[in-house]
Structure 1
Amino acid sequence: MITERPLPTSDPRIGVLGSYGGLNTGDEAILTCVLTCLRAHSPHASLIVLSRDAEHTRAHQPLANEVLHWEGVPHRQLHDALAGLDLLVLGGGGVLYDGEARRYLRLVAAAQAGGVRTLAYAVGAGPLREPDDREAVRTVLSAMDDVMVRDEESRLVLEEVGVERDITVTADPALLLPAEPFTAEMMAGEGVPTDTRLVGMSVREPGRAAEHLDEGDYHALLAGVADFLVRRLDAHVVFVPMERQDVRHAHAVLSRMAAPDRGRIMNGAYSPGQILGLMRHLDLVVGMRLHFLIFAALSGLPVLPLPYAGKVFDFARRLGAPTLVGVAREQSGLLLAELDRLWDEFPQRRPELVARVRSLQVLARETGVRCGALLDDLPSRSGVAPGSGQRKPPLAMGRT
């Protein structure tokens, strides 16, 4: 049990906990957007990121005032740091899944025990089958001041687990990411031509979120897709890794292509904003990674998602993009036909895509507004909420 936290005597101290530390480009995009939102609302707040690689986060997140490494740190030291917070923000991103949910929520529960207010910021959930993770989710989320998930799939997962509270469906924070330049020099450094059509492709490894994938099957499927696009569009295919493990799988796909000379695998280390900037060089994208698809949609490109998991299927549905179920070789014909149709019809579809993206961005901003309302509700220096004689109750919550 941690000691009761002291009443704030200065600007608020806000902790941000998630899968941060350079492991995944999408998670880093989320962290950038969450910190930007918090800084915009509370310019003088102390923003403390709990990272899995503190050195990486210090180097890449200038908005963070402090960075704490939370894996392998003595419990007392970590609990003392949590006790000094006024608010702990969990997420965003997919943090509530088997094997990981209990680890994150152990820290959230410790903060709650010390009187720190807590909020789930557009998190993703599932799969959740292991009893310890399900129990942690039921217990800790019920005690949070606000719970927002990034998609309908996550809400359904939490309800199935037994979370009995209002859960608001918003949208992924990375929808608010600003682009950074990806220059012609950077393209040349990657050996990517700029005088031809370019198709971006995202390949990921099987894992907890994609445990049903057969490697040989989907590698062969994507190689066939890449070859089709080379022929159909006279294009080069650019494989964009979003995690280090993606490189190996991109090589596996490239090795199965009939025209491997028309493919390139990006090898440089780039910020999320630069990967978003890369999209302006592309003509079409096919992808498995959620944030690769988000970046493409933000750039107004024709997008064909490959829904290996519910979060990708949900985003495709909200985007109005084709929603083929699964990534299996027997779907090759359907996939190629869908690509053909997508390319031919996209000039007419583009206005709808732009409108849907804008609607999702509105939801993403509302996540920040709700977080800001909770910040405004924190006790003042005298220990009472502004304008009242006692601490206010948690925010009223509703489902969208």
Structure 2
Amino acid sequence: MKLIHLISGGDVGGAKTHVLSLLQGLNRTEDVHLICFMEGPFAEEARCLGIPTTVIEGSNPMAVRKRILAIIRHDDCQLLHCHGARANMIGALVQRQARIPVISTIHSDYRLDYLGRPLAALTYGNINKVALRRFDAWIGVSDGMRQLLISRGFDPQRIFPLYNGVDFSTPLKTVPRDEWLRGIGLTPTDKTVVFGIAARISPVKDMTTLVRAFAAAVKQVPDIRLAIAGDGEQAGEIRALAKELCPEGTVFFPGWLEDVNSFYQALDVNVLTSLSETFPYALTEGARMHCATIASNVGGVPYLIDDGENGLLFEPQDVSALTAHMLTLATDAAKRRGMGEALYEKTKRDFSVQAMVEKQKHYYEIIIRRFRRPKLERDGVVICGAYGKGNGGDNAILDAIVAQLRHIDPDLPICALSRTPKETRAAACVDSLYTFRLLAIRRRMHHAKLYLSGGGTLIQDTTSTRSLLYYLSSIRMAARAGCRVMLYGCGVGPVSRPRNCERTAKTLNRYAEIISLRDRYSEETLRALGVTTPEIRLTADPALLIDPGDTPAIHSFLHRSGLAEGTRYALFALRPWKDFDRHIAAFANAAEYAHREYGLTPVLYAMEPCRDRAALNAVAAQLRCPYLLLEAGSNGTEIVALIRRMSLVIAMRLHTLIFAAGQGVPMVGVVYDPKVSGFLDYLGQDLYLPLEEANAASLCDLIDTAMAEQMFEAENIRSLRELAAENEELARHLLTEE
């Protein structure tokens, strides 16, 4: 690939490290050209690393634009990659005539880049905000930054997370600790514990909180010291505050550092107090030197720091919490060493510079391919379901459907209808429209090729006739707008009212082409309704295919959930229903039985928190054993990852049972609706009972059987997933057939 990177050339800190590390790696296999807008250390260091570098100086942006366009055409470049506000402005100016994709890496929260500088925020900050919106794609330096951009209306299908990588392959040369400390005027003793931060001294780094916390800690542990490396617009203010609050000779300001490795080598504890971050090099560089770490819980930081395991987190501006963490590490050398080593191992495993470079190359290929995608009259999919209503199971189905569609065509435009579009964009990383924005939905349908009605049991009137009419009218509107229509891995029924039966049969016979079903009960319901025209296939729920993998994000999620290594758990996914209060004691007794007889800690799990929380709290109030009370994760992979950690699942919630089946976890069903027993019958699973028959004795008997049989076998899981995969093939047929 032929790539141009734009950057001002005056950058320091994490942005500089990221760009130079990335370009050095890319330059080994790709044709890379770096353009800076000023001579200086950045351009000089790039040349020393063998990166082809051009400096285009001048204050006339149109003249700069002209020169860059000439370079793009002369070198036949395939992509322009911008870094920082000035580069973003120039990138936006050349975008239309360049006729190549123009993208930007967002290294920090662009709304906070000029914090404390109102004039710069008004000019450069606003220009940058406008420029960013025009790009073809964005690289966010963490999943946290990706979520921030989505929350601000950026297209989630064009945002790519790329974590900063650290080079572990190059031997490090450092000055001995005591020698470096003496060089800044700090004479260490055997009792000295050095805390430090290396960052621009600016409001967004919030060193005021650091100094105040250190001042409180040093009163209790006089042998601790603080080194603040860096410079910036707040340097004078922070120096004055340290002088005012801290004993003389306890805070040191070494200024900007060329040798950051020696700085981190000299520290006992690396501290980050930022109000906003993406994925800071300050932490990974400290981790490379085995530093214990305290950091504010912002941006991508929690993806690296597992609180209490390989570091300590605190909420931004919480002086008392930071003070407590400093005292903890100041007085416990073994904890410092243990956390430093654990963070080193995680960083080396998951955040290498080699992995960063390979992922960036993969993203380039995707972006270029999508830019060259032919403009079709009809392209993409609209998905309708019960999304954005706080039900983790329904949202997980959307994740599964999106994954299958991406397998068909990784560049397929996808739009999901949702009650909370902003949350759906963030969770599923697709475009989303509000469920009742009918005119906007209709316009989207006129351009889409396929309409999917998917996500649980939509065709039923138990909830209400109104919801049934909405889903039927959406099917009708999509077909009339020219979409091909499929009901995707869904449940059907019960449909009880005669008029609703007639409406359902008429709509599905006239407008649906394919209906794939997740259980035989749904198939029998359709036949009873008289639905015969569409192709009807018995498959399985697409959520069975969710595979969370073993990623740093999943590991961090499980850690934050409170699941301890080596502890075994039994998950109870309950929901309020008619006469549920009569069975609260039975569920509590069953949870205590699982704990007493099998050593399983109960996990009371709210799949739909706004509805389930009260029922679970009622059970929790009667428990006399340890337990966890958790809510569904933000996406399907988190939900499935948690259920995979269980040794047993007892559930009223259908999708909890579906996830357990997909992961081979032993399970017991409590039936409040025919769809639950219909699914379990389809699996050949008879470990269930109606809610009205749920008592302590019957539940404990089923727990004994489930633990003895250890359902499911690998062959059962494989068969289920093969059936679920058939949904994808049916959708592929509709998308690819002319």
Give the TM-score, by structure 1 length. 0.81
Deviations 1:105-131 (A, max 9, x none): 111111222332211111111221234
Question: What secondary structure is seen at the aligned counterpart in 2 of 1:27?
Answer: helix
Q: Aligned in 2, Cα 1:296/1:324: closer, same or farther, shift over 3 Å?
A: closer
Alpha-carbon separation, structure 2, partners of 1:268 and 1:18 = 18
Alpha-carbon separation, structure 2, partners of 1:375 and 1:190 = 40
2:397 aligned with 1:26:
no
Deviations 1:85-124 (A, max 9, x none): 2221111321111122210111111122233221111111
1:254 to 583, 604, 620: 620
Letter in 2 for 1:48: C
2:455 aligned with 1:92:
yes
Q: What is residue 360 of structure 1 aligned with on the other side?
A: 720
Q: Aligned in 2, Cα 1:203/1:61: closer, same or farther, shift over 3 Å?
A: same
Deviation at 1:192, TM superposition (A): 4.5
The correspondence of residues 60-139 of structure 1 with structure 2, limited to 5 A, is 60-62=427-429, 64=430, 66-71=431-436, 73=437, 75-98=438-461, 99=464, 100-139=467-506
Q: Alignment length, in residue pairs? A: 355
Q: What is residue 301 of structure 1 aligned with on the other side?
A: 665
2:635 aligned with 1:271:
yes
Mean CA deviation greater in 326-335 or 155-164: 326-335
Deviation at 1:167, TM superposition (A): 2.2
Q: Contact conserved, 2:595 with 2:601, CA < 8 A, in 1?
A: yes
Deviation at 1:238, TM superposition (A): 0.6
Bigger relative contact order (CA 8 A; separation at least 6):
1
Q: Aligned in 2, Cα 1:145/1:80: closer, same or farther, shift over 3 Å?
A: same
Deviations 1:182-223 (A, max 9, x none): 7676555444444433111111122xxxxxx31212322211
Deviation at 1:269, TM superposition (A): 4.2
Deviation at 1:160, TM superposition (A): 2.2
Listed as ranges, the gaps of 5+ residues in structure 2 are 1-374
Alpha-carbon separation, structure 1, partners of 2:657 and 2:692 = 19
Q: Contact conserved, 2:393 with 2:655, CA < 8 A, in 1?
A: yes
Q: Aligned in 2, Cα 1:268/1:128: closer, same or farther, shift over 3 Å?
A: closer
Q: Contact conserved, 1:319 with 1:357, CA < 8 A, in 2?
A: no
Q: What is residue 155 of structure 1 aligned with on the other side?
A: 523
2:198 aligned with 1:198:
no
Deviations 1:311-355 (A, max 9, x none): 221232233433433013565423322221222332xx553xx21
Alpha-carbon separation, structure 2, partners of 1:43 and 1:264 = 38
Q: Aligned in 2, Cα 1:121/1:191: closer, same or farther, shift over 3 Å?
A: closer
Alpha-carbon separation, structure 2, partners of 1:268 and 1:310 = 23
Listed as ranges, the gaps of 5+ residues in structure 1 are 1-7, 207-212, 378-384, 386-400
Deviation at 1:362, TM superposition (A): 0.6
2:547 to 174, 178, 183: 178
Q: What is residue 595 of structure 2 aligned with on the other side?
A: 230
Alpha-carbon separation, structure 1, partners of 2:672 and 2:694 = 15
Deviations 1:55-91 (A, max 9, x none): 11111122x2x321122x2x44433332222221111
Alpha-carbon separation, structure 2, partners of 1:120 and 1:300 = 27
Mean CA deviation greater in 27-36 or 130-139: 130-139
Q: What is residue 45 of structure 1 aligned with on the other side?
A: 412
Q: Aligned in 2, Cα 1:167/1:331: closer, same or farther, shift over 3 Å?
A: farther
The correspondence of residues 161-172 of structure 1 with structure 2, limited to 5 A, is 161-165=529-533, 166-172=535-541
2:648 to 250, 261, 284: 284
Deviations 1:254-310 (A, max 9, x none): 1233x1x42221147442211211234322111111221222222222111222222
Alpha-carbon separation, structure 1, partners of 2:428 and 2:434 = 14
Alpha-carbon separation, structure 1, partners of 2:654 and 2:694 = 23
Over the aligned positions, Cα root-mean-square deviation in angstroms equals 2.4
Give the TM-score, by structure 2 length. 0.45
Alpha-carbon separation, structure 1, partners of 2:498 and 2:633 = 38
Q: Contact conserved, 2:517 with 2:536, CA < 8 A, in 1?
A: yes
